[in-house]
């Protein structure tokens, strides 16, 4: 039977070799029946502590566990890759913020909050990036699609759940969505910029998907 030290080594190797987050059930498949989910979870927490303070950290995200470089080292790592990361327009970020904080919402809801129409290109940009998806339909005439964020959205922000989104003090006011003082679009934009270069598995290249849609208006 494997001892805890050996189990941690296997978990570490699997996570370092993976090019995407690994959920607990997938990690559990590495072992025989005597290693249960609670043991795997506890050893992952130990492994996370083992890597604490190093240039690469083990994190638990919406899609599972992965190794990634520390966000505070991003400015140094960018010197190895001259490729510019995609920047998104204000319209894209405001739309994403509304969906993230008010989901599920229809396109009409978004337009009411923003006060302007939402182009199909903005919605498609977010869908192509994997940040939003159709999660249902509102039971009203026309049955408009309801949009919500995805696990990919949480992973790219380095979050485990929506409860970890940056807090906003004035979400009761619709105007807060696009306000200057409490600005979710700006908060999400800066968070994405900090994290999208930092989701690099140790020893691997920048994660796939950085060829996202170009900036839209």
Q: What domains, with CATH codes, occur in the chain?
A: 4-79 (1.10.10.10), 90-195 (1.10.10.10)
Rounded average pLDDT per 10-residue block, the chain, 217 residues: 90 94 94 87 96 93 92 83 72 89 93 90 93 95 95 88 74 39 50 48 34 34
Burial class from Cβ neighbours inside 10 Å (0-12, 13-18, 19+) for residue 29 reads exposed
Contact 65, 58 (CB under 8 A): yes
Compute the residue count for the chain: 217
CA distance 191 to 88: 13
Residue 163 burial (CB count, 10 A): 7
pTM: 0.69
Please give the helix or strand (H or E) that residue 8 lies within, else none. Answer: helix 4-17
CA distance 136 to 134: 6
What pLDDT was estimated at residue 7?
Answer: 93
State how far the alpha carbon of 180 is from the alpha carbons of 27, 33, 176, 177, 187, in Å. 44, 54, 8, 9, 11
How many helices and strands (H and E) does the chain possess? 9, 4
What pLDDT was estimated at residue 39?
Answer: 92
What pLDDT was estimated at residue 67?
Answer: 94
> Could you give the count of Cα atoms lying within 13 Å of 100 in the half-sphere of its Cβ?
30
């Amino acid at each position: 039977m494997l001892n805890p030290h050996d189990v941690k080594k296997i978990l570490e190797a699997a996570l370092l070799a993976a090019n995407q987050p690994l959920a607990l059930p997938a990690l559990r498949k590495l072992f025989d029946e005597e290693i249960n989910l609670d043991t795997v979870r506890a050893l992952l927490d130990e492994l996370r502590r083992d890597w604490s303070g190093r240039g690469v950290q083990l994190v638990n995200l919406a899609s599972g566990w992965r190794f990634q470089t520390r966000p505070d080292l991003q400015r140094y790592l960018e010197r190895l890759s001259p490729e510019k990361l995609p920047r998104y327009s204000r319209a894209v970020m405001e739309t994403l913020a509304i969906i993230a904080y008010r989901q599920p919402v229809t396109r009409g809801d978004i337009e009411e909050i923003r006060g302007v129409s939402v182009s199909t290109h903005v919605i498609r940009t977010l869908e192509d990036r994997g940040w939003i998806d159709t999660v249902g339909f509102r039971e009203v005439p026309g049955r408009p699609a309801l949009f919500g964020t995805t696990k990919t959205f949480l992973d790219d922000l380095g979050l485990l759940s929506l409860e970890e989104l940056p807090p906003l003090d004035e979400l009761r006011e619709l105007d807060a969505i696009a306000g200057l003082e409490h600005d979710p679009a700006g908060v999400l934009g800066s968070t994405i910029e900090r994290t999208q270069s930092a989701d690099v598995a140790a020893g691997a290249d920048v994660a796939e998907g950085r060829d996202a849609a170009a900036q839209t208006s």
